[in-house]
Amino acid sequence: MLNILRFRKEKALRDKVLDTIKTNKPEDLRLLLSKDKVKKLIRKTGGKVLSRSLISAIHNKHLECMEELLKAGAYPGVVDNRNLVARAVNMRKGRFLKLLLEYGANPDCGEDLPLYTSARMAELGIFRTLLLYGADPDYNGSDQEFLRKYLNSQSVLGWCLASNCDVQFVQLLVQFGANMYVPDIQEILLQADNDAARYLSRERGTDNLYF
């Protein structure tokens, strides 16, 4: 019975919050989230009761509403396989991504690998933001089994070289401490002929690609 009551309370709150977000009324949202009963429910769920509302704020492009949700304690991580960082990256929403990261979202989030995604989409600003907030510049994730299976253990740096990304992506990775000597780099440098490969070759301290 207690679980049923809690479920109803959570659903009622989500519905009210979603209605407020859709109409883009951040002040009304702030008042709603400041109520003692609402704050108590947010605390009990660790902020997860508001996670779907964060997705709605991203999709509706309502940045101020999203900030109110995060200020109130909305959980910015992965809930029910919904990865908020990945959503913001895929939708090219740099300001929304930055807010999530400011409130503690993990830039190395499971199998979504936002650094690879932002490089693939040529979104240099988003790529830089992820690195600024602590994204792992080598593999952008801790799931080694996934990396082996789907990326053949290819590093972000190796992927950028092999995919002929703009040299600025490689420069950022090096600046943020990417390992220039991971196993996949040697083979790729022997095959690549682009500005990024030449830049990395110089950074590694050799004047040609064949060593």
Q: Could you give the CA distance from residue 54 to residue 204 in angstroms, rounded to a whole number? A: 43
pLDDT at 77 (0 to 100)? 87
Q: Could you give the CA distance from residue 121 to residue 128 in angstroms, rounded to a whole number? A: 13
* Residue pointed to by tokens 């600003």: 125
How many alpha carbons fall within 13 Å on the CB side of residue 71?
Answer: 14
Q: How confident is the model at residue 93 (pLDDT cuts 50, 70, 90)?
A: very high
Is the pLDDT confidence value at 206 over 50?
yes
- Burial class (CB within 10 angstroms; exposed 0-12, middle 13-18, buried 19+) of 48: middle
Residue 154 CB contacts under 8 Å (≥ 6 apart), including other chains:
147, 162, 184
SS3 state of residue 83: strand
Q: 83 pairs with which residues across the strands?
A: 78
Please state which of the four CATH numbers 3.40.50.1360, 3.40.50.2000, 3.60.110.10, 1.25.40.20 is assigned to the domain occupying 97-211.
1.25.40.20
pLDDT above 70 covers what percent of the chain? 94
Q: Which one of 1-15, 17-31, 143-157, 174-188 scores highest in mean pLDDT?
A: 17-31
pLDDT at 186 (0 to 100)? 81
pLDDT at 94 (0 to 100)? 96
Whole-structure pTM value: 0.89
List the one residue out of 144, 137, 181, 142 whose CA is nearest residue 160: 137
CA dihedral 197, 200, 205, 206 (to 10 degrees): 0
Q: Could you give the CA distance from residue 182 to residue 185 in angstroms, rounded to a whole number? A: 6
169-187 mean pLDDT:
91
Angstrom CA distances, 87 to 68, 84, 97, 146, 174, stand at 19, 5, 9, 20, 26
Q: Which amino acid is at 111?
A: E
